[in-house]
Every structure is written in structure tokens, then in C-alpha cells.
Structure 1
């Protein structure tokens, strides 16, 4: 693949954890504005070179950096304001949507200690999430808001209230409207911890670990849905607004749509466990209405999964069976090894989607990099950087095993191969000098026609370290 070099042009600095970057045109305006949503609950936009506050919901956000899950006091957190999406008709109707972790919903977590599967102990491979009303970490909500004629945003209704087992894997950039269907697409992580302890991502009834379509036009009079974890716990009018596009998701930094002739290629990244980060692409899919999933569950039957997307987790980590292999025989002379999630790997081996590309946490090749976590995936259709035209660009939080004292994130790209086989990727070189400060690449955004790319960078991994964020435009 061609070596590409770009420049980073700073647009805004000293912002808190920039988690979502989107553009839209405000009602009565004529220029596309860049909106920046921060993990702590602020939404800014850039107008005439000045950063302005659009909405501040910090009081509604759970206290960040304060969790019972093993990393308490570390300042690291994956909760907060995670999703922002503007309705396709936002200019006319003022509707936009938020996904965030709700203040004062902190629970003890679903397990008393960090989880690690043991292939030699089947009990660790078949855990169940019990006492869900009390054993959870927090509650996430998806809400509809409206920009009123006086310029003030106001909440209209709640679409979903989701109880989450752990603090991590809640998705990020988790709300996007499909240009294909006009529906709101919600991406949920598998619930967190590591290795998906309860295998929520493969369970058709679990809301965790899925890509979900929400028809925001249907049943607009349901204002306060119950707090749930499973589809069959939702009232029928809400079930009727939902369909599931994909399952087998570990954690996902949103979904990107790329117009190609009269179709859209969908790109979605799946954050890896210990081995690899993966990007998936698909064109055709057949979502399953939640009402059908619930009906199949009641009948104890299998729903028709033709055209349904499965990323394979927890049996597969991208293109590879989920690892953890150990010798379990009591007889040391026998060279027998057991793979933790062998059954899941076999069960999903045929049905799963192969990734477009995978990159490793350790990669000895000189022109590659060892990744940490995939944080953004965006199609690029601009001609300003000709070598990237038509490709999918992605970001990784930080190079693994960075030799320097200061950490650097990574920008890279790949393309869909005409034979649909696994493709390679290439690192994009950047010329920006971050000096001695660390630079974690926390997200990637694009404008409406995908001709511009925006990069969110943070100087720390602690949500308690404020004002260390910068938003860049990626330019030739």
C-alpha cells in the first residue's frame, strides 16, 4: 500500500476528553459547523473560529474516575457522554440524540473481582449475570433532544435505559444515523470486564454486544422506558422500534457509511482483547426485528439469521479464535491443551463475518505498529489527500511498547479488496510535533460528505486530568 503523509492542523485546544466529533448545519445557518462532545458532558461547536457551548449536561453524567471495578482510583473510565447524533432533518426539526452514563447510578459491579477465564475450570466459562437489579455498575441512557426556536436545547424523551454490568465497553461515538435507512444506529459494547464473562454478545436477548437500529419515528409517545438489560424486558411499543443488525461485538467505536455507486459500505471496528484489533465491512445485511427475536425466544426456536451480521466475539477475536490456551491434564506426560472458548469458536466459525483487516498488539514488521485499542473508523471520500480517496481511515489509542517516554497514537488506513479477502493496512505518517507531551488518539470524525477528517487527541489516560485535549483537522 502507498505510504501517505499528512499534516495535523489544530482547531481547538484545552478541551476535556473529546469523545465525539460530528458536523451539522444549525437551523437558520448556512455553514457546516464542527461539534465536539466531551466525555464529561459538554458539547461545543466551532463558529467563525470561536468555540461556543451548545449544551452542558455535566450534572447528568455519572461521576467519572470513581468505580468499584478493580481500577478504582486510577482515574481511567469508559463511561460518560458517549454518543451524539443529529437527525438527518436537524436543520428543519432540531432533533438530536445523546447516549450517556447517568449520574448517581453507580452500583457495585456484576462480579466482585476482575474476571479471567480459566480453560481448566469450566465454572469460569459458564458464568451467569444474576441479581441484575443490584449487581451492576451503572445505567446508560439514550435520549432525544430538540433545539428549540429560542436556541436552547431541551430533552424531549428517553428512548432506552440500559443497565450495564461493568464500567467499560459501553461503546464510543455510539450513535449515528444511517443514510441508507434514516434510522438511528446504536452500537453497544459487550458490557465490559474482559473476555465477556457472561457471553452477552452472542445472546440474542441481550442488548449488550450488538448494533441496533432504532426507528425514532415510531411510538414517539413513550417517554420513560424501564431500566433493562434484555430485549424481552422492554414494553412491546419499544420493542417495535428496534431491530438488530449485528451481534458478537466486543466494543465498537461507532459505524461509518461510505456511499459506493447506489450502495453503502458499512465499516465497524471491534476492539480486541489481547491479540488483535479488527475492522469489519459489509454492504448487504438483513436486520432482525426485536419482536421476532423475542418471539423466537418464547418459542425456544432459532430466528432466521440469513443476512444477519455476526462479528464472532467471544469465540473469535477478529480473524483468530479467542486465545487463552492452557495444559489442563493431571498427567504431565500428556501434551493436552484446552482452549477457553473452543465451543464458542466452533459455533460461530461459519456464521461470523471475516474482518476487512486486523492489526496486532505485537507486530515485528518494521512498517507496522503494535496497537493498544481501536478508537475510530471513518471512510474518506475527499480529494484533498488523493492517496486516501475511497479508503477507510482508523486510529489507535497508542502504540504498544512505545520506546519513548511520551506516548503517541497511530493513524492508519486500509481499503476493501475486490475479492473481499483480508487486506493489509498502512500507517499514515503525521508531521505534527507533540513535544514531550503524550498524545493519545481518542477518536476520529468526519464532515457530512466525508471530505474532511478530524482527530481528537488527549494528553492523558485519566478522565480526572482536565483540559488536555486538542482537536485537529487532518490535511495534506
Structure 2
């Protein structure tokens, strides 16, 4: 693939960790403005070089970084503007609710769980006592920009109880241009290796891609806090369909127009081996009412055309593996298939990734990955080498080198034959100096002709004001 070089043009700096970068046109306005949502709960609006606060919900957000040494994956994680936002002022938020901190679903540090293939107990854990053994509660809400310019909450669509602090999704709310529905991407609930196998369980809301028909009014202003679809009141069930399962953690879904249909792109953050990007055009979502009916009737609904990314049996193109380190020589590290039976069961049902890229890669023109943080199609012609391609970001180069840390920008192309594709690193000439530069988010404008990159100087959300948002330019 051809080498591409770009510049990074700073738009705004010294902000908190930018989790979502989107553009829209405000009611009565004529220009598209960039909106930046930060993990701590601010939403900024930028137009004509002026930055102003659109909404500040910091008091509504859980206190971040306290229980985990400053690192956190909770907070304000999703922002989406209704396709008719210019006319109706509706927008949607996903965040972790203040005052809902629990003790977690398993004892120990949040990522300490590892399955032991020799111990069946570790392979068949169940999440019990959910009403007291959980980490926090997430909410998905509908808001309206009132005629006086003040945003106001209208209703709560979902309350989700989450087992651990990590894997809640990020850039988790996007509207489908095909169906007009709000697409919610939830991670598997966290820890590591999906201890309760929530992502493959059809009844669990964790580890899924869910569509909400926001045009349907359920007349339920305060829905119950749930973890499973069958715990939802029927009017809410009737607004939901499930597009996919087998998700580990996910930096949103994006849509690329291809003739008269859309290619969907989904990144699945990996465990120990690979990061993966999946693409699909055709899919058959399953109504939640049918899933629940299947449980009641003890029958499995038809899953033909239903998307399965394969986790936890598969990590991208590979069976999920535990790495046993060889301290004398790391080239002799042993990889053991963690969930052999599940890898077999899901081997045929799962979707093959468009690309998988590796946490360790000996090739000189590639890089060692840490975590996928954004996937966006680029349809502009300012950077002609990238036109029609899929650009993605990784948090940080995983190289055995000294700091400072650098994130990675790369791209791949669609393959119509559905085979695994290669990717190429995009070179940037930006000088970050001695500062770390974690690439934490990737965004685009409405017609996907501009790309925006969110960078942070620390891995810790509790280290404030270290964020910069750039436009990626030729």
C-alpha cells in the first residue's frame, strides 16, 4: 500500500480527554461546527475559530479515576445528533451516572481475571447478585436544544448496570443513515477475557450493537436499571433490535456510502494479540421481543444474517489465547487457547475481520499495537491517497523503546472479496516534543471529507487539561 504523509493542524488545546469528535449544524445556523465531548462531561462547540461550552454535565458524571489510580474507562462516552437535529434540536448522550459507584462483580483489580484452561470454574463464571455486585450504572438519554439555546434533558432511554469499570464502549452513540435509528455500541462489561461470557449470551445487553427506534415513545420516563433484555418493560423492548454480538470493546460504528448501500465498520479492541476492524453491508437485526420470546419458548431465534464478531472464543482472526511468558527468551512465549470449546462453537458463525493488526509485529513498516481508538471512512479529496479508504487510530505504539509515547494513524481499504486486508501506517510530521501523545479519538464531519484527531498527554483521565484536537490535513 502506498505511503501517505499528512500534517496535524491544532484546532484547540488544553482541554480534558476528548472522547467524541462530531460535527453538526445548529438550528438556525448556516455553518457546520465541530463538537468535542470530553470524558469528564463537557461538550464544546467550535466555529469560526471560537470555542464555547455547549453543555457541561460534570455534576451528573461519576467521579473518575479515584478507584483505579487515575485511569478510567467510564464518563461521558457517547454523543449523537439526531439526523433532523437542525429542525428538532434532539441529541443523545451516554454516560456513567454520578453516585452509582459499586464494588465490582469480582474481587480484586478490575483487569485481574484470567481464565485457567485447567480449571473449569474459571471458564464458567456467572455474574451473581447483580443488584449489589456491580461497578456502576450507565445511562442513555435524549436531550433537546431549546429555542432559547439551552439544552435540556427530555427522557432516559436506558439504564445499564455494568460489572466492571472498563469496556463500556466509546463514541458509543451513532445514527444509522440506513434505518434512521440510534445505534448503541456496548462493550462486554469489562475485566479481561469476558469472565461471564456476556458477549455471546443473546439475553445480555453487554457485548452487543443495539439499535433504538427513538421515534417510538415508550411513555416510560424512568426505566428500570437492567443488565438483560428480558428485564426491560415490553414498551422499551419494542424499540430495540440487536445488530451484532461478540463485541469485546468498541470505538463506535461508522457508515460509508457505497453506491446505493452502506458499508458498516466496527473496530473491536483486542485482549493480548490483535486489534481488529470488521466490515459488513448486509445484516439482519433481531428484534429484542423475538429474543425474549425465544428464551420463554426455550427456542433459539433464527440467526441467519445476524452479525457475530466471535469474542470471547475469538480475538479477531485468532482463537483467544493466553500468553505464558518465557522469561529467558520472549520469542519462545507460549500461546494457549483459553476457550477452546467456544472457539470451535463460534468458528463458523462469526464474521471474519477486514484486518487484524498485532500487539507485536516484527515487520519494519508496521507497528506494535496497544488499543484501537477510532475507525472512520475518508471520502474527501484533499488527501487523494486516502480517498475512499478507512482510517484508524491506535492509542500508542507498543514498542520496547523509551518514552515519550506516540499514537499511530493508519489506513486500510475495503476488499469486496471479503478477504483479510493489509494496512499501512500514515506518517505525520507533527513534533509533540517531550510530551506523550496518546491518540484517543478519531472523528469526521458530516460528509466524511474531513478527519479530526483527539490526542491526550496522559493515559489518566484524572490528569486534567492535557488534550488537543487536530484536523488531519495534507
Deviation at 1:339, TM superposition (A): 3.2
**Counterpart in 2 of 1:303?**
301
Instruction: Assess if the C-alpha contact under 8 Å between 2:272 and 2:323 holds in 1.
Output: no
Q: How far apart, CA to CA, are the structure 1 residues paired with 2:182 and 2:88?
A: 15
- 1:58 Cα deviation (Å)? 0.0
Q: What residue is the counterpart of 1:350 in the other structure? A: 348
Structure 1: distance between partners of 2:205 and 2:10:
38
* Partner Cα separation in structure 1 for residue 381 and residue 414 of structure 2: 18
5+ long unaligned stretches in structure 1 = 327-336
Tell me how far apart the structure 2 counterparts of residues 245 and 120 of structure 1 sit (CA, whole Å): 34
Q: CA deviation at 1:405?
A: 1.6
Q: CA deviation at 1:416?
A: 1.2
Query: Post-superposition shift, 1:42?
Result: 0.1
Matched, 1:62 2:57: no
Query: Aligned match of 2:389 in 383, 388, 391?
Result: 391
Residue number in structure 1 paired with 2:24: 24
Q: Which residue of 2 aligns with 1:84?
A: 79
CA contact (8 A) 1:276 1:317 kept: yes
Match of 2:463 in 1: 465
Residues 94-116 of structure 1: per-residue CA shift (max 9 Å, x gap): 00000000001000000002211
Matched, 1:318 2:313: no
1:278 aligns with 2:276: yes
CA distance in structure 1 between the partners assigned to 2:186 and 2:403 by the alignment: 34
Distance 1:346 1:367 in 2: 33
1:159 partnered with 2:157: yes
- Stretch of structure 1 that moved more, 394-403 or 189-198: 394-403
- The reply to whether residue 431 of structure 1 matches residue 429 of structure 2 is yes
Q: Pick from 171, 179, 182: which aligns with 2:180? A: 182
Q: TM-score w.r.t. structure 2 length?
A: 0.96
Instruction: Summarize the Cα distance change of 1:380–1:338 in structure 2 as closer, same or farther, 3 Å threshold.
Output: closer
1:95 correspondence with 2:104: no
8 A Cα contact 2:321 2:336, kept in partner: no
CA contact (8 A) 1:119 1:324 kept: no
Alignment partner of 1:420 out of 414, 418, 421? 418
- Give me the whole-angstrom Cα distance separating, in 2, the residues matched to 1:89 and 1:416: 30
CA distance change for structure 1 residues 250 and 347 in 2, over 3 Å: closer, same or farther? same
Shift of 1:219: 2.2
User: Could you say what secondary structure the match of 1:201 adopts?
Assistant: coil
What is residue 405 of structure 1 aligned with on the other side? 403
8 A Cα contact 1:409 1:439, kept in partner: yes
CA displacement at 1:325 relative to structure 2: 7.2
Distance verdict in 2 for CA 1:402–1:37, change over 3 Å: farther
Q: Secondary structure at the match of 1:470?
A: strand
Match of 1:110 in 2: 105
Q: 1:14-40, CA deviations, whole angstroms, 9 ceiling, x for partnerless residues? A: 010000000000000000000000000
**How far apart are 1:419 and its partner, in Å?**
1.6
Q: Report the equivalent of 2:143.
A: 145
The Cα shift of 1:402 comes to 4.9
Contact kept in structure 2, 1:186 and 1:212, CA below 8 Å:
yes
CA shift for structure 1 position 417: 1.4
Q: Normalising by structure 1, what TM-score? A: 0.96
After TM superposition, the structure 1 = structure 2 runs for residues 217-236 of structure 1, keeping only pairs within 5 Å, are 217-236=215-234
Aligned partner of 1:133 in structure 2 is 131
Kindly indicate whether residue 77 of structure 2 is the aligned counterpart of residue 43 of structure 1.
Answer: no
SS where residue 87 of structure 2 aligns? Answer: helix
Using the TM superposition, give the Cα deviation of residue 220 of structure 1 relative to its aligned residue in structure 2, in angstroms: 4.4
Return the alpha-carbon distance in structure 2 between the equivalents of residues 402 and 104 of structure 1. Answer: 40
Instruction: After superposing the two structures, state which structure 1 stretch, 338-347 or 424-433, moved more.
Output: 338-347
- 1:33–1:45 contact (8 Å) kept in structure 2: yes
- Answer whether contact 2:32 2:47 (CA < 8 A) is retained: no
- 1:400 and 1:359 map into 2 onto residues whose CA distance is 12
Structure 1 CA distance for aligned equivalents of residues 449 and 323 of structure 2: 45
1:125 and 1:224 mapped to 2: Cα distance?
36
Instruction: Tell me if the contact between 1:119 and 1:325 (Cα under 8 Å) persists in the aligned partners.
Output: no
Query: Contact 1:240–1:290 at 8 Å: present in 2 too?
Result: yes
- Mapped to 2, the partners of 1:178 and 1:465 lie a distance apart of 34
CA offsets 1:417-438 (integer angstroms, 9 cap, x no match):
1321000000000011000100
Q: What SS does structure 2 have at the residue aligned with 1:314?
A: coil
SS class of match (2:472): strand
Q: Which runs of 5+ in 2 are unaligned?
A: 325-334
Deviation digits for residues 287-346 of structure 1, max 9, x if unmatched?
A: 0000000000111111100100000000000000001278xxxxxxxxxx9732011101
SS across alignment from 1:202: coil
Match of 1:214 in 2: 212
CA contact (8 A) 1:120 1:338 kept: no
